[in-house]
Amino acid sequence: MFSLTKLTNHRNLYKYLVYKFSMVFDKIKKAFSGSAGIEEAPNEYLEIDLDKKEEENKVLVKLFVLKQYEDVNGILDALREGYTIAILDIRNLRKRDPIELKRAIAKVKKTTDALSGNIAGFGENMVIVTPSFAKILKEDSKPREPRNKFE
């Protein structure tokens, strides 16, 4: 049988261990939360700026006209923001300089691939570029007939 003093000593040891573990876990929690050496005041006030406009993360569908190769930079900036679906009108650059058009489209495609987006031609004069959250469904205009491998 246990004596009362041994039982009391075990309780004290248990309380001591619980206290030490809680201190260690508090230090770990503060280290991961980023407030390692900063003690927070219990009655601290939070200041709210009422004049600040809240930026909405709405999807924008924006039309861009490619008149020259340098217009690509504005398109890429809009795509990197992540909330813009770009519709490119390539008619002007296509008529003026097809080589510059190929360079511009290659640059847009490279950036779109890096952002895990999609790019697709729509007719002869339009290109649609989407960020990663949107997908372009590419369907053929006429269904293909299955080919017999013996023909």
Q: Domain for residue 15, yes or no?
A: yes
Over residues 99-137, the pLDDT tens digits come to 999 999 999 999 999 999 999 998 889 999 998 888 888
Q: Domain for residue 141, yes or no?
A: no
CA distance 110 to 118: 11
Q: Domain for residue 50, yes or no?
A: no
Does one domain contain both 27 and 85?
no
* Spatial CA neighbour of 120 closest among 88, 74, 72: 88
CATH (domain of 92): 3.30.110.150
Q: Domain for residue 151, yes or no?
A: no
Supply φ then ψ for residue 89, to 5 degrees. -95, 110
Amino acid 46: pLDDT: 64
Is the pLDDT confidence value at 36 over 50? Answer: no
Give residue 82's domain range: 60-130
Domain count, the chain: 2
Does one domain contain both 32 and 65?
no
Does one domain contain both 65 and 100?
yes
Q: 75-86 burial string, b = 16+ CB within 10 Å, else e?
A: bbebbeeeebbb
Concatenating the DSSP letter of every residue in 34-84 gives: T-SS-PPPTT------TTPPPPP---EEEEEE-SSGGGHHHHHHHHHHS-E
Over residues 58-107, the pLDDT tens digits come to 888 999 999 999 999 999 999 988 888 999 999 998 999 999 999 999 99
Amino acid 72: pLDDT: 93
Does one domain contain both 17 and 79?
no
